[in-house]
Structure 1
Amino acid sequence: MSHLFLNKDVYSCILDEQESVHVVKVLRLKEGDAITVTNGNGIIVSAQITKADHRKCGYKIIEEQKIDKRSAARIHIAISPTKNIERMEWLVEKCTEFGIDAFSFVLTEHSERKNLAVTKLEKTSFAAIKQSGQPFLPVFSELIAFNNFLKQDFSAYEYKLIACLDEDIKPTIMQLVPANKSCIVLIGPEGDFTGSEVQQAVEKGFVKISLGNSILRTETAAIASCHILNLIQEK
């Protein structure tokens, strides 16, 4: 595959400025050179540069390919962002490599990070699809307060899970979720959710789960959940 670029409106045949700069000034590609463009939603086109402009690089489509998802089941991780942004970038990278449909970011009582540059995480995710060959870019939601997050419509998910550290005996993802079922997993901050937050989630239909005997870092818990759900889909 030639160099891969993102254009959410792949049929516009014009790359945005960031991608255009990479084509023209970083890679020094010229008119007539081959590139590959994806919309991040399963459409990949082989293309040829028609205008090597670092602000609006134009291309013409030579061949189009539509890639279907491995499974109709959606995987959604909702997480309280860590204080260290590099750990957030790492989890986004790894979850994208495994395969994930959506990320949500929730502000909880114990959250150490109160703001989040989601656009930077989207760039990390796009770099990961280039590396892994995943043709699907996850959907990113802006940081939202926990109580407002719970007011959203989760009817598209057959399984709604919350990973927490209370002393109740809890099932694991493997014990609960069968293949071909959409699932959203809530992951708390360092220090976990408060008891009140867990109760609010349970009242909204979320089921408490365990991720094993070890106490995992926030980002590790997210990656583990994503990987387990992908393994379930591949059974």
Structure 2
Amino acid sequence: MNLFYSPDITGEESQFTFNKEESRHIVKVLRKSEGDSVYLTNGKGHMFKAEITLADIRHCNARITEKIAQEPRDYYVHLAVAPTKMNDRYEWFLEKATEIGVDEITPVICEHSERTVVKTERLEKIIQSAMKQSLSSFLPGLNPPVALESFLERETNGQLFIAHCEEDGNRHLLKEKVVPGQRITILIGPEGDFSTKEISLALDKGYIPVSLGSTRLRTETAAVVACHTVALINQ
């Protein structure tokens, strides 16, 4: 089963035309022809089955034959993760988190961040590809990068966690604090971890300090572990 993505499809249409890139992929790579079925999603919880009516590599047309609603998860995960020094590591995190199940992602710029410029256009494509690969009809939201202090001012709802590496004796294991069926926000810092000042700011805003285990993890690994932990608790 191959899944294609179009944010503009509503389900009210009877016909749909794929863009040039996807038309070429359908006809040239997948070798689909008239009468074959394909699946589309708008990333908003709906999947559509369609029958190809014109197999043209420039504008492949299809007739929508079925609309399938996918049930949303009963919990919400927002990962606020500092950009990694190597961009491919952040892309890996986005891909895996999307496959596991994340709803919203915000790159946060911290005092120890080695990279402060984030080009979201490519990251959006990584997320879309991972959504299609995992046959999900929910596209995670990717927010513009923001300074950590600004993020803390605006993100105040639900269960709030900050995963840091300081040995202050007050951290809890994330798996022991997550409550199923809740909105959850988890802060993951850069390679140099959050600064002491940043940790204090987060604690003042009600964030709970947590650990993800007994070993020190890379930023991207920590983010995936956090995402997976929440998913397991909510199974």
Q: TM-score, normalised by structure 1?
A: 0.89
Matched AA of 2:71: D
Q: For this pair of structures, how many residues does the alignment match?
A: 230
Which position in structure 1 is the counterpart of 2:3?
4
Does 2:173 align with 1:172? Answer: yes
- Kindly indicate whether the alpha-carbon contact (under 8 Å) linking 2:5 and 2:132 is maintained by their aligned counterparts in 1: no
The CA distance in 1 between the partners of 2:69 and 2:160, in whole Å, is 30
Q: Where do residues 1-235 of structure 1 align in structure 2 (5 Å cutoff)?
A: 1=1, 3-11=2-10, 13-52=16-55, 54=57, 56-69=59-72, 71-155=73-157, 158-169=158-169, 170-234=171-235
- Kindly indicate whether the alpha-carbon contact (under 8 Å) linking 2:188 and 2:223 is maintained by their aligned counterparts in 1: yes
Q: Give the Å deviation of 1:217.
A: 0.4
Give SS of 1:215's match.
coil
- Kindly indicate whether the alpha-carbon contact (under 8 Å) linking 2:159 and 2:185 is maintained by their aligned counterparts in 1: yes
Q: TM-score, normalised by structure 2?
A: 0.89
The 1:16/1:112 distance shift into structure 2, 3 A limit, reads farther
- Kindly indicate whether the alpha-carbon contact (under 8 Å) linking 2:3 and 2:135 is maintained by their aligned counterparts in 1: no
C-alpha root-mean-square deviation of aligned residues, in Å? 1.9
- In structure 2, list runs of 5 or more residues that go unmatched: none
Select between 143-152 and 51-60 the one with higher mean Cα deviation.
51-60
Q: Give the Å deviation of 1:33.
A: 3.2
- Kindly indicate whether the alpha-carbon contact (under 8 Å) linking 1:6 and 1:19 is maintained by their aligned counterparts in 2: no
- Kindly indicate whether the alpha-carbon contact (under 8 Å) linking 2:156 and 2:205 is maintained by their aligned counterparts in 1: no
Matched AA of 2:113: S
- In structure 1, list runs of 5 or more residues that go unmatched: none
The CA distance in 2 between the partners of 1:223 and 1:114, in whole Å, is 21
Q: Give the Å deviation of 1:131.
A: 2.6
Select between 60-69 and 43-52 the one with higher mean Cα deviation.
43-52
Work out the percentage of aligned pairs sharing the same amino acid: 40
